[in-house]
Amino acid sequence: MTQLDDEGAAIERCKSGDREAFGAIVQKYMKPAYYVALGYVGTPDDALDISQDAFVNAFRHIKRFDSSKKFFPWFYSILKNLCMNHLTRVRRRREDSIDAMAEEEGEVRIPLKTASPEQDAARRELERKIGTALLQLRPKEREIIILQHFQDYSYQEIADLLGIPIGTVMSRLYSARRALRKELERLGVRY
Amino acid sequence: MSCDAYKPLLMGYLDRELPEAEVALVEAHLAGCSDCASEIESFRRLKEVTQDMRVVTPDDRYWDQYWSNVYNRLERRVGWILISIGTILLGSYGLYELLMEALYDLGLPRTVRVGIAALVLGFCTLLVSVVRERIFLSKSDKYERIKR
C-alpha cells in the first residue's frame, strides 16, 4: 500500500467523523503547516495559531475533499487563505501603530538559530539581519526559502507539499534567493 | 537555451537536485558564461553563510500539545454551535410570546405594538438571511479557487 493509499484511507475515516484518524494527519503535517504559516505571517505565535485553525477548518470541510488526491496541497489552500486574512487584519491595525517603526528597525524578524555551539556576537548579529531580511521578502519567496534553504526539504517534498511542479520550485527559489541577497546587501551584510 | 532559462536550473545544480544529464548541461553553460558563473558563486556563498542556520521552532512540548489544541478547538466549536442554537430557540420563543402579548394587548399604544412587531419580524428576516448564506457557503468549496 502506498503512502497515498494510507492517507486516503485515513481521510475516508475522517469523513465518517473519526477524529483520531484526523489526529494522525495532523501529526504528519503539523510542522510543514507551521513553516508555511511562518513564511506568510512571520511570527511564530501567529504561525502556530493559524496552522491549528487551518486544521480545524480542514476537518470541517473534509467531506468535500477527494481522498484519491494528496491532502497537503488542498490543506495549503485553507492555510494560505487564513494567513492572507491575518495579514490583511495586521496591515489595517499597523497603519496607525508603532509596529511599523519597530519592523523597520529590525526588532520584528523571523527567529533563526545556528546549530553550532559557538555563538559569538558577530554570528548573532548575522542571524538577526538574515531574520530581518526574510521578513522583507514576499510571502511566496519567504515560504520557499524557509522550506528549502533553512529546513532542508527536498525539491520533491516541496513540490508535493505545495502541489507545484519541480520546475516551479526551482524558479521560485531563484527569485527568493535573489530577493534575499538584495535585502542582505541593503542591510550591509557581506559574505 | 538563453541564460534566463538556465537560472532556475542553477538552483537545482547548487542544491544537487538535478539529474546527471542536466548537471552536464549546466556545467557546460557555466564554463562559457561568466555572468551565470558569477551568479552561482554568489548563491553558493549565501548558502555557506546560512548553511547551519535553522528557523527557531517551538519547543517539543508545543508539538506534543499541537493535536490536543486542534482537538479542543474542534470541541469548542461544537459547544458554541449548541449555545447558538439554544440562544436562537429561547430568543425566538421569547420574541414570539412578546409578539403575541403585544398584538392581543389592546391597552398598549399602537406605536409600541407596531414597534414590537417590526423588531420581531426584522430579527426573523436577519436569521433567515444568515441561515441561507451559511447553507449556500456550505455547498460550495471556497478553497478550490485559491491559487498555489
One domain for residues A127 and A173: yes
pTM: 0.73
| Domain boundaries, position B12 | 3-50
User: For residue A29, what pLDDT band results from cuts at 50, 70 and 90?
Assistant: very high
Q: How far apart are CA B94 and CA A116, in angstroms?
A: 67
In one letter, which amino acid is A180? Answer: L
| Cross-strand pairs, A113 | B54
The verdict on A124 touching B (C-beta cutoff 8 Å) is: no
B145 in a structural domain: no
Contact B55/A130, CB-based, under 8 Å? no
A61 and A11 co-located in one domain: yes
Q: For residue A130, which residues of chain B lie inside 8 Å, CB to CB?
A: 50, 53
* pLDDT band (50, 70, 90) for residue A186: very high
Return the residue matching grid coordinates 507545484. A164
Residue A179 lies in a domain: yes
Contacts of A114 in chain B (CB under 8 A): 52-54
Total structural domains in chain B?
2
pLDDT confidence tier of residue B145, bands split at 50, 70 and 90: very low
Per-residue pLDDT reduced to its tens digit, A54-80: 999 999 999 989 888 889 989 999 999
- pLDDT band of residue A4 (cuts 50, 70, 90) is low
Number of other residues whose CB lies within 10 A of the CB of residue B125: 10
Cell 558563486 belongs to B41
User: Which range in A52-56, A133-137, A144-148, B67-71 is most confidently predicted, on average pLDDT?
Assistant: A52-56
Which of the pair, B138 or A75, is modelled with greater confidence? A75
| Residue B147 belongs to some domain of the structure | no
Q: For chain B, which residues lie within 8 Å of any Cβ of chain A, measuring from their own Cβ? A: 7-12, 15, 17, 42-43, 45-50, 52-58, 62-63, 66-67, 69-71, 73-74, 77, 141-144, 146, 148
B38, B75: one domain: no
Taking contacts as CB-CB distances below 8 angstroms, the residues of chain A near B8 are: 167, 170-171, 173-174
Q: Record the cell numbers describing residue A68, joined without a space.
A: 484519491
Per the CB < 8 Å rule, is A115 touching B54? yes
Share of chain B above pLDDT 70, in %: 92
Residues B64, B99: one domain? yes
Q: What pLDDT score does B127 carry?
A: 81
Residue B95 within any structural domain of the chain: yes
- B-chain residues near A23 (CB < 8 A): 67, 70-71
In a domain, A64, yes or no: yes
**Interfacial A residues in 12-41 facing B (CB < 8 Å):** 19, 23, 26-27, 30-31, 34-35, 38
Indicate whether A113 belongs to any domain: no
- B24-37: pLDDT as tens digits: 999 999 999 999 99
- Asked if the model's pLDDT at residue A105 lies above 80, the reply is no
Measure the CA–CA gap between B37 and B30, rounded to whole angstroms: 5
Query: Which residues of chain B lie closer than 8 angstroms to A173, CB-CB?
Result: 8, 11, 15
Comparing B79 with A27, the larger pLDDT belongs to A27
Residues A3, A89 within the same domain: yes
- The whole domain housing A1 covers 1-97
Among chain B residues, CA nearest to A80: B146
Pair (B36, B66) in one structural domain:
no
Q: Quote the pLDDT of residue B147.
A: 47
Q: Would B146 be classed as within a structural domain?
A: no
Mean pLDDT of A86-108: 64
In a domain, A110, yes or no: no
The least confident of A78-82, A90-94, B99-103, B135-139 is: B135-139
User: Within this chain, do residues B40 and B69 fall inside the same structural domain, yes or no?
Assistant: no
Q: What is the pLDDT of residue A108?
A: 60
Residues 6 or more apart whose CB falls under 8 angstroms from that of A139 comprise A39, A40, A83, A87
Q: Domain for residue B45, yes or no?
A: yes
Residue B67 belongs to some domain of the structure? yes
Task: Please check whether residue A104 lies inside any domain of the structure.
Answer: no
> In chain A, how many domains are there?
2
Domain membership flag for residue B148: no
Looking at the domain assignment, is residue B82 inside a domain? yes
Of B7, B62, B71, the CB nearest to A174: B7
Same domain, A75 and A156: no
Q: Are residues A19 and A50 in the same domain?
A: yes
Q: Let me know: does A183 contact A128? Beta carbons within 8 Å.
A: no
Regarding whether B64 and B132 lie in a shared domain, the answer is yes
Distance (Å, whole) CA A110 – CA A129: 10
